[in-house]
Amino acid sequence: MLSLVTFVRTCTFNPASTCFSLHRFLSSAANSFATNFDDVPFHSFTNIDATKRLHALLVVSGKSQNVLLSTKLVNLYASLGHVSLSRSTFNHIKRKNIYTWNSMISAFVRSGGYREALICVSDLLSMSGGRQRPDFYTFPPALKACECLLDGRKLHCCVVKMGFEEDVFVGASLIHLYSRFADLGVAYKVFVGMSVRDVGSWNAMISGFCQNGNAAEALRVLSKMRVEGLKMDKVTVSSILPVCAQSNDIVSGLLIHLYVIKHGLEADVFVSNALINMYSKFGRIRDAQRVFDDMKMRDLVSWNSVIAAYEQNSDPVTALGYFKEMQFVGIRPDLLTVVSLASIFGQLSDQMISRSVHGFVIRHEWLNRDVVIGNALVNMYAKLGAMDFARKVFEQLPSRDIVSWNTLITGYAQNGLASEAIDAYNMMEESHKIIPNQGTWVSILPAYSHLGALQLGMKIHGRLIKNSLYLDVFVATCLIDMYGKCGRLDSAMSLFYEIPRETSVPWNAIISCLGIHGHGEESLQLFKDMLAEGVKADHITFVSLLSACSHSGLVDEGQWCFDMMQKEYGIKPSLKHYGCMVDLLGRAGYLEKAYNLVSNMPVRPDASIWGALLGACRIHGNVELGTFASNRLLEVDSDNVGYYVLLSNMYANVGKWEGVLKVRSLARDRGLRKTPGWSSVVVGSIIEVFYTGNQTHPKCTEIYNELRVLTSKMKSLGYVPDYSFVLQDVEEDEKEQILTSHSERLAIAFGIISTPPRSPIRIFKNLRVCGDCHNATKYISRITERDIVVRDSNRFHHFKDGICSCGDYW
DNA sequence: CTAGGGTTAG
């Protein structure tokens, strides 16, 4: 008796709920075993120990076979997250009714035990006598538990046989089921067949279309729903918001936000989370922030969303701040949080912490849980420039999907490893297991552009025409870029006019293409067309435009763009913009203006800025400013051999030979880290690659013979080798030998001996073309009567009849 | 007493 009294005293319950009856019950229970449990408010138990004591009391009172009470206990255990206790309680009930079965099934479903739920359902269905027939409470959870379409179809048959298909709850579950397995035809048939539909039915259909990426159909159903006089509720709103982001429909998004405010739906976490995500996708980080700030209740998804919002809008520092705050308020990060973290540390290029994120993922064995996290790690190492690590993670992934491959390929391409990117792509194709998607094309095409692999690029273009993916703005832009960088400006232009061009993306590409081909005026014209069509220019547009102006020496126009960018668009110039302007002003001879621009920059000039100034000083022979620029330059980046070459050539141009010698010894002392120079030339369908000084090519002898013949002809026409491009401290004849074995010259010579007379030659060089080779190529184009097109890392040079299209502004 | 439809990803 005493133990029972103790039991009663220690029984905890939720004081906020209706506890008066519980009090009464407990005090009477203390005096008698003949207890009436009817008044016990089961739902007010929030504590597992109290529940266990209640269970014990039931047993002691001999009520454990009372179906109603035991079933309530099944539900109570489930709601406290103890499904195994639900199950054992369930198993002890001898005469189960349908309420008992339904409770057990939904308990399994709520805890994710789909297998167990389905076993339970089939036990119920196979019970003989048919006294326990499923009712319409049985099917919604049962349908949710189906992990394959076959199970779902079987249940659908039962639903029809038993005449429950008219129930709105069952109907919504069926629509949801078929949508999950992407069978939208059947889902829609169920939807249309329903004679009564509530908001839930409409929501099921709309979200079915949303989650299968069919935004248009989702919006169509939504508008039909509103025509029928039904109002959107919180569920409708949270399904439709991601669609607005996906279809780039900011107006609908804003209207829905207004609707949310008007109907007080923002109190719902799902709705607010969806709003944060939508604003984040539109880049409206301030709006996302405001929604987050106004939330009274925030869950894990809210925090993940705000962290991802900043991470995806390139503000890793703020994102990290929110991560710390999230930990501070006691919310435990999950897999998706870590996915964002990986990207954050990649963006911060923090090697140490990135490694520890990797360690964390391995310790939790999360690589087996979801490919996304593995892909995030590959991406993280790629952003750190550690492609060997990225590769290792990639190879150890338990499973790889299309995104894994795309991430690897993009990583190689963006770290300048184009041929590794192509190898990875080929490996993917050879596996025959993965179907490439949009992301694949936007990762592989830039690698082709980089190497000038026109044939391979065209092969992809052909494939894309078959499935119309070439109309996708991002894919098409990559194709435009590929054609432009492979020298097919005409193809780039005609493709540009074929595709949708409401966004700045394709315009930026075509403006840049025209620029690198030296067609500055046309770049400007396209910019004006762009504005006339109402397309808004962005910071990338101005990089393309300014560099086009600088390639063509359009000083006033460039200045106009630079001013307009700041005044009309409120874009603060970045280092790239300043680089273009310094280049533009400097090369046109306005060295003082260029210098003033550099000294008044609000950001610290980097190597590219000083390099541009030095290049301009070289052209105009301003040794004083050039020396100053090179001193600053070597403070920021003393490893790049290209700058020493520029400096040496500058001294040589004004006859300051002691300067040339000084640069040479400086270069020697610093033990220059040289990027190996290579050039390629296309002969037939074969791409031949030559490295500087290559002696191992099968046609080596013929190539050097051809060069010897050419050099003597060139000399008779007035060519004088410019040794200031050679930094090695060697004898004159050896310097000439070095110039002659530059990769671009080998490639040109190979092109000449391997193609019919007077046919054009296309060369690609990974670095800037050497000044002496540039001069030599002019002579070669005249001697051989060939058009020679050289694409270097900066622009195109069209050599024809002894003249270069760049006007010697190389 | 038991049920449906919703938000985050590389």
Q: Give A488-542 pLDDT, tens digit per residue.
A: 999 999 999 999 898 899 999 999 999 999 999 999 999 999 999 999 999 999 9
Quickly give A711 CA vs B10 C1' distance in Å: 54
Quickly give A340 CA vs B3 C1' distance in Å: 36
Name the pairing type of β-strands A678-683 and A796-800.
unpaired
**pLDDT, mean of residues A328-348:** 95
Q: What percent of chain A stands above pLDDT 70?
A: 95
Which nucleotide is closest, CA of A140 to its C1'?
A: B3
DSSP bridge partners of A687: A682
Contact criterion met (CB below 8 Å) for A175 and A194: no
Distance of CA A25 to the CA centre of its chain: 61
DSSP bridge partners of A763: A681, A790
Contact criterion met (CB below 8 Å) for A663 and A644: yes
The whole-angstrom separation of Cα A763 and Cα A452 is 9
Which nucleotide is closest, CA of A371 to its C1'?
A: B10
* Eight-class DSSP state of A222: H
Position A105 pLDDT exceeds 90? yes
Position A441 pLDDT exceeds 60? yes
DSSP bridge partners of A667: none
Contact criterion met (CB below 8 Å) for A515 and A547: yes
DSSP bridge partners of A765: A679
- List phi, psi (to 5°) of A689: -110, 135
Average pLDDT value over all residues in chain A: 89
pLDDT of residue A33: 44
Position A216 pLDDT exceeds 50? yes
Position A129 pLDDT exceeds 90? no
Which nucleotide is closest, CA of A164 to its C1'?
A: B3
For A403-434, how does the pLDDT look when each residue is reduced to its tens digit (9 = 90+)? 999 999 999 999 989 989 999 999 999 988 88
Q: What is the DSSP string of A29-88?
A: HHH-S---GGG--GGG---HHHHHHHHHHHHHTT-TT-HHHHHHHHHHHHHTT-HHHHHH
Quickly give A112 CA vs B4 C1' distance in Å: 17
Q: Longest Cα pair distance anywhere in chain A, in angstroms? A: 124
Q: Say how many C-beta atoms besides its own lie within 10 A of residue A262's C-beta.
A: 8
For A578-612, how does the pLDDT look when each residue is reduced to its tens digit (9 = 90+)? 999 999 999 999 999 999 999 999 989 988 899 89
Nucleotides of B under 7 A from a protein CB: 1-10
Contact criterion met (CB below 8 Å) for A495 and A480: yes
Which nucleotide is closest, CA of A439 to its C1'?
A: B10
Q: Helices marked H in A212-268 — which ranges?
A: 215-227, 234-246, 250-262
- pLDDT band, very low/low/confident/very high, at A17 (cuts 50, 70, 90): very low
- pLDDT band, very low/low/confident/very high, at A35 (cuts 50, 70, 90): low
Burial class (CB in 10 A: 0-12, 13-18, 19+), A797: buried
Which nucleotide is closest, CA of A277 to its C1'?
A: B8
pLDDT of residue A634: 84
- pLDDT band, very low/low/confident/very high, at A635 (cuts 50, 70, 90): confident
> Quick one: which residue's CA is nearest to B6's C1'?
A235
Quickly give A177 CA vs B1 C1' distance in Å: 26
- pTM of the predicted protein model: 0.83
Quickly give A79 CA vs B9 C1' distance in Å: 29
Identify which of A605, A598, A544 has the alpha carbon closest to the alpha carbon of residue A575. A605
Higher pLDDT, A7 or A658: A658
Position A703 pLDDT exceeds 70? yes
Quickly give A103 CA vs B5 C1' distance in Å: 20
Q: How far is CA A443 from CA A342, A343, A440, A659, A743, in A?
A: 20, 18, 5, 45, 28
> Quick one: which residue's CA is nearest to B5's C1'?
A204
Lowest-confidence pick of A70-79, A248-257, A563-572, A632-641: A632-641
Lowest-confidence pick of A162-171, A675-684, A700-709: A675-684
Contact criterion met (CB below 8 Å) for A143 and A155: yes
Position A16 pLDDT exceeds 50? no
pLDDT of residue A672: 72
For A263-288, how does the pLDDT look when each residue is reduced to its tens digit (9 = 90+)? 999 999 999 999 999 999 999 999 99
Q: How far is CA A558 from CA A489, A549, A553, in A?
A: 22, 5, 9
> Quick one: which residue's CA is nearest to B3's C1'?
A137
**pLDDT, mean of residues A723-746:** 85
Distance of CA A429 to the CA centre of its chain: 21
- pLDDT band, very low/low/confident/very high, at A128 (cuts 50, 70, 90): low
Quickly give A330 CA vs B8 C1' distance in Å: 19
> Quick one: which residue's CA is nearest to B1's C1'?
A72
Which nucleotide is closest, CA of A233 to its C1'?
A: B6
The whole-angstrom separation of Cα A301 and Cα A328 is 16
Residue in the block written with tokens 């060369």? A763
What's the count of helices (H) and strands (E) in chain A, helices before strands? Answer: 43, 6
